Amino acid sequence: MARRVLIIGGVAAGPKVAARLRRLDPEAEITMVERGKYISYAGCGMPFYLDGQVREFEELFRTAYRVPRDERYFAGERNIRVLTRTEAIAIDRGKKRVLVRNLQTGVEEHLPYDQLVLCTGAEAVVPPFEGLDLKGVYRLKDPGDAQKIMAGIDDINEAVVVGAGFIGIEVAGAFANRKILVSVVELYDQVMPNVFDADMARLFQRRLEGQGIEFYLQEKVLRFEGDENGRVTRVITDKREIDADAVVVAVGVRPNVKLARDAGLAIGETGAIAVNEYMQTSDPNIYAAGDCVETVHRLTGQKTYVPLASTANRQARVVADNIAGREARFKGILGTSVLQATIWNAGRTGLTEKQARELGFEVVTVINPGHDRSHYHPDDRTIIIKLVVDQVTGVLLGVQALGAGEVAKRIDVAATALNLRATVDDLVETDLGYCPPFNSTIDPLQHAANVLRNKLDGLVRMMSVDELKEKLDTDDDFIILDVRDELEFRDQRIEDPRVWHIPITELRSRLPEIPRDKQILAICDFGTRSYEAARMLEAAGCKDVRSVEGGMRVWPFGPVGML
């Protein structure tokens, strides 16, 4: 008798389980139940549909060979039964069946299973704001929400996004690309909380501000107000009123575990469904995958909850393999994620500096700008990379990156290094490809690693831009030596009488002008010339010389700059 596999959830993990299992077991009876109207859609593509990069709504549902992924596709090509607009009500583990209800007809029935797979996903967190029911107030949970926003997009002049996480930032970027004035309100004191360290978040924020996005951090939304027609007109926070023709609430998601909890399945410490490495729940006949489950962080061994489509698809393959009798394990995640907003790309993998310190690691970090390809190539763009390394062992702990250039490639290389428990030396010694359109002769990730090695080896003493700002505010007895050329210095500089400008090309001949009894803080554009200047000054007898880490490219306290 063919095995009966019932899958609850038809967005990301569910369809992947079904498709993989069908290839492994041509005889299995596979049924997929989805509460919503849409199945197997590209949820991560919705912000890019809003800004016009994805031109047709249907593209979110098509295969790479342009066939719609609908019920007929799954039935005809995959021999998989799909029930949309059907809600799973309860699991009867003793009789191995699930009670479902057709949401259009109200008819209920029991669906039997030999193996059950829960892919119930996550549900949007929607705080009880007054005015949520006003016209023009949206969420972005499924394609239907995207369609509602697009239906009125031409009438939006001012938009407010509540939440500065992944979805919030991408939606803000979509509005900005359409020349809509957009404001982002965030309860935390930085954008991308729990994703980036504060220093990288600030740099990302500054770049987005350069594209016209306004941010209001550490502000609490109190309510939405509307006009006599019931349409939203403003957002009221605890600090201000913000005019708005449209509001998108994107404050995060939580795992959808009601069905599992009601069935007596174990819920993990993160609040998501607990599973083992085979993706089995506490009932060995019930598997779970995707945004409803918790997993293990590969660096710490701790349970974590990071809902990502990439993770859901990888977990789904493991589920299908195990159901088909091919033993497979899901070993955990690094939290690797990337995003694009306006012209800026950003990403991270592993631990942030804050997370690493909270876990007890003794860390050393570096922030370093670099060219994403040969500087003379017309498509050259700059990216900023932050490395987090265990100072005791030299093992890489995490990487964050942002810029207009190719960020994802560096994050993926870093994720590979983290997966292999590589040290910073291993990263430097990795044989990466080079060709001017694709890379610089030393990849910017490896260049950052070299800077960190110089720091560890004591070849250069560094000062962060935050430390420099504090010093400017509290100390007088030092010199900032700007060694950039005249054009760079005129274009953007620190306006302060303690700044001396001597281009690196003139520094050697002008060494007698430099006082040996003062602290010298060398700064340039990227940090390379300031390192050279620091070595030159130390050789000339200056006793206290520092190179400002990352240079003016990471100086966040002046006018909004460009990478």
Report the number of distinct structural domains present in the chain: 4
Q: Which phi and psi angles does 127 have, rounded to 5°?
A: -60, 155
Strand order in the sheet with 86-92: 86-92, 97-102, 108-112
Q: What is the DSSP string of 151-179?
A: HTGGG-SEEEEE--SHHHHHHHHHHHHTT
Rounded to an integer, what distance in angstroms lies between the CA atom of residue 527 and that of residue 508? 18
Whether residues 224 and 264 fall in one domain: no
Looking at residues 371-398, what average pLDDT do you find?
A: 96
Q: Which of 251, 284, 308 is the last residue of a domain?
A: 251
Bridge-based pairing of strands 545-548 and 382-390 is: unpaired
Q: What is the DSSP string of 273-310?
A: BP--TTSB-SSTTEEE-STTB-EEBTTT--EE----HH
The pLDDT, as a whole number, for residue 560 is 56
Q: How many residues does the chain have?
A: 563
In a domain, 173, yes or no: yes
Q: 405-446 pLDDT, tens per residue? A: 999 999 999 999 999 999 999 999 999 999 999 999 999 999
State mean pLDDT over 272-279: 98
pLDDT of residue 480: 97
Same domain, 446 and 471: no
Residues 523 and 381 in one domain: no
From the list 44, 435, 524, 542, the catalytic residue is 44
Answer yes or no: are the C-beta atoms of 241 and 281 closer than 8 Å.
Answer: no
Cα 232 to Cα 155: distance, rounded to the nearest angstrom: 13
CATH number reported for the structural domain that contains residue 393 in this entry: 3.30.390.30
Domain identity same for 111 and 175: no
Say if residue 227 is in the same domain as residue 282.
no
**Rounded Cα gap, residues 171 and 48, in angstroms:** 8
Helix pair angle (309-323, 13-24), 10° resolution: 30
Does 237 map to a domain? yes
Give me the mean pLDDT over the 333-357 stretch: 97
**44-70 mean pLDDT:** 91
pLDDT tens readout for residues 113-169: 999 999 999 999 999 999 999 999 999 988 999 999 999 999 999 999 999 999 999
**108 token code pair:** 């209920």
- pLDDT single digits (tens) 93-129: 999 999 999 999 999 999 999 999 999 999 999 999 9
- 442 and 467 assigned to the same domain: no
Is the domain of 448 the same as that of 475? Answer: no
Judge whether residue 561 has pLDDT over 60. no
Output the six-digit token pair for 386: 């932050």
Domain end marker among 323, 355, 372: 323
> 137 and 224 in contact (C-beta within 8 Å)?
yes
State how far the Cα of 364 lies from the Cα of 317, in Å rounded to an integer. 37
The answer to whether residues 402 and 410 touch, using CB atoms and an 8 Å cutoff, is no
User: pTM of the predicted model, to two decimals?
Assistant: 0.95
Local confidence band at 559 (pLDDT 50, 70, 90 cut-offs): low
Residue 128 lies in a domain: no
Instruction: Assess whether 384 and 489 both reside in one domain.
Output: no
The residues that bridge with 402 in the sheet, in sequence order, are 346, 384
3-state helix, strand, coil in the chain (%, to 5): 30, 30, 45
The boundaries of the domain holding residue 415 are 343-456
Check which CATH number belongs to the domain holding 524 and give it: 3.40.250.10
Question: What's residue 33's pLDDT?
Answer: 98
pLDDT at residue 562 in the model: 45
The verdict on 206 and 263 lying in the same domain is no
Query: Tell me, what's the pLDDT at 207?
Result: 95
Q: What is the pLDDT of residue 490?
A: 93
334 found inside a domain: no
Q: Residues 388, 360: one domain?
A: yes
Count of alpha carbons within 13 angstroms of residue 384, beta-carbon side? 27
H or E element that contains 385: strand 382-390
Is it the case that residue 32 has pLDDT exceeding 50?
A: yes
Asked if the structure places residue 563 within a domain, the reply is no
In a domain, 522, yes or no: yes
**β 344-350/396-403 pair status:** antiparallel
Q: How far apart are CA 86 and CA 219, in angstroms?
A: 39
Q: What is the CATH number of the domain that holds 272?
A: 3.50.50.60
* Domain stops at, among 232, 251, 270: 251
For 496-532, the pLDDT digits (tens) are 999 999 999 999 999 999 999 999 999 999 999 999 9
pLDDT at 558: 72
* Rounded Cα distance, 534 and 528, in Å: 10
The answer to whether residue 44 is catalytic is yes
- Statement to judge: residues 412 and 304 lie in one domain: no
Q: What residue has token string 């190539």?
A: 377
Q: What is the pLDDT of residues 442-481, one digit of tens each?
A: 999 999 999 999 999 999 999 999 999 999 999 889 999 9
Q: Looking at the domain assignment, is residue 450 inside a domain? A: yes
Answer yes or no: do 117 and 262 share one domain. Answer: yes
